[in-house]
Amino acid sequence: MKIQKNELQEALKKVKPGLAGKEIIEQSTSFAFMGDRVVTYNDEISISHPVKNLNATGAVRAEELYKFLDKIKKDEIDIEWKENQVKITAGKSRAGLILQQEIKLPIEEIGEIDEWKVLPESFLTAVRFCRLSCSNDMSRPELTCVYIHDNIVDSSDGYRISRYTLKEKMPVDDFLLPATTAQELLAYDIKEIAQGEGWVHFRTEETIFSCRVFQEDEFPDIEKFLILEGEEVPLPKKLTEALERAHIFTNKEFLSEALVQVKLKEGEMIISAKEDVGWFEEKLRMVYRGNSAVFKIHPDFLIDISGEVRKCVMQADKIGFRGDNWIHVIALTVEE
């Protein structure tokens, strides 16, 4: 059958985040073709997307197929699904990849999908805002998640707290969305949500993004820590530029660990960052007269909010930032 290469590539790109790094589950590093859709599954995420003019069943190793299509210059390719291989012809180039006709991915674990419901308009904005305050410590799995409940999205790693208030209530029950999954979800223009047993499903116009959620762990009560009644202190005028320079020295494996240190001293703010290959420090003038205090924050986060707010709230044990529908609080280490 003849299909457009770019349409197949686009479908594979959409489902690629659902591939596993290692094949702990059989076929979890493969693209599974199921009729007119391609599916991936890695036990945490499963993604499916339609492929035009395709009606095939079987699993093909993802790495070789994806790389081969990327090297083809022809717009149209011919695909033949044989008994144990898929043969691709593009002009004078031909390739054959092993085809496993039986789909062995445990797709049935995803279970039934309930009725699709429209998501609040700012849901992705809220997830993007909160994801950077999640922890990577699996000894407290609830803190590795974004907590979505009622019309609120919360996150915390025990030192930082983020809250974003949606204009509308979520149309599904409360759930804990792993931050790693949340990061992948941000790449999709999701419109709808449906609940399942241990899974939550999101849908764009074509793609279905299913993700396993935490159910047995309870997110801590953070209400008392969100109260901000301290002194308002103006942020330095050149804060954004300094943070962009500091960001160069924050390369980390986990996004939430790419932090800069901010030290407040009388009359100044000192921004610093350090990694294996180098370090950074910059001093900015600031109208501050309290005790010396230190906190850590993701530079992207502070860059984003400093474009919206020009002041922070200082208390003895914490610093806070707040906008019309969000609040972010960080525990301070005070230096005498």
Q: Where do the structural domains in the chain lie, given as residue ranges? A: 2-110, 117-224, 227-335
Q: What is the pLDDT of residue 82?
A: 83
- DSSP characters for 107-120? GGGG------EEPP
Burial, 34: exposed, middle or buried (Cβ in 10 Å; 0-12, 13-18, 19+)?
middle
Average pLDDT over residues 144-168: 96
What average pLDDT is seen over the chain? 92
Encode pLDDT of 112-129 as tens digits.
898 999 999 999 999 999
User: Per the CATH hierarchy, to which homologous superfamily does domain 2-110 belong?
Assistant: DNA Polymerase III, subunit A, domain 2 (3.10.150.10)
User: Per the CATH hierarchy, to which homologous superfamily does domain 117-224 belong?
Assistant: DNA Polymerase III, subunit A, domain 2 (3.10.150.10)
**Tokens 């074509």 correspond to what residue?**
206
Q: What is the pLDDT of residue 275?
A: 86
Cα distances (Å, whole numbers) of residue 259 to 99, 164, 278, 301: 45, 21, 14, 10
Q: How confident is the model at residue 56 (pLDDT cuts 50, 70, 90)?
A: confident
DSSP H or E run through 4? strand 2-4
Is pLDDT of 322 > 90? yes
CB-side neighbour CA atoms (13 Å) of 275: 13
CA distance 316 to 228: 11
From the list 1, 67, 6, 4, the residue with the least C-alpha distance to 31 is: 67
Encode pLDDT of 182-235 as tens digits.
999 999 999 999 999 999 999 999 999 999 998 767 999 999 999 998 889 999
Q: Write out the two tokens for 71.
A: 């090297």
Say which residue, 144 or 54, is predicted with more confidence: 144
DSSP H or E run through 178? strand 175-178
Q: What is the pLDDT of residue 2?
A: 86
| 167: Cβ contacts below 8 Å, ≥ 6 apart | 120, 121, 122, 151, 325
Q: Are strands 260-265 and 231-234 parallel, antiparallel or unpaired?
A: unpaired
Average pLDDT over residues 83-89: 90
Q: pTM (2 decimals)?
A: 0.90
Is pLDDT of 336 > 60? no
Q: How many percent of the chain have pLDDT more than 90?
A: 73
From the list 278, 68, 175, 155, the residue with the least C-alpha distance to 77 is: 68
CB-side neighbour CA atoms (13 Å) of 196: 17
Is pLDDT of 135 > 70? yes
Dihedrals phi, psi of 245, to nearest 5 degrees: -70, -40
Encode pLDDT of 239-293 as tens digits.
999 999 998 898 766 556 778 999 999 999 999 999 888 999 999 999 988 889 9
CA distance 304 to 213: 28
Q: What is the pLDDT of residue 254?
A: 59
Q: What is the pLDDT of residue 301?
A: 86
Which residue intervals of 267-326 are DSSP H helices?
Answer: 299-306
Two domains, one topology: 2-110 and 227-335: yes
**Fold of the domain built from segment(s) 227-335:** DNA Polymerase III; Chain A, domain 2 (3.10.150)
Burial, 39: exposed, middle or buried (Cβ in 10 Å; 0-12, 13-18, 19+)?
buried
Q: What is the pLDDT of residue 3?
A: 86
Q: Write out the two tokens for 235.
A: 């942020």
Average pLDDT over residues 89-106: 92
Q: What is the pLDDT of residue 216?
A: 65
Average pLDDT over residues 16-21: 96
Q: Write out the two tokens for 21.
A: 């790094």
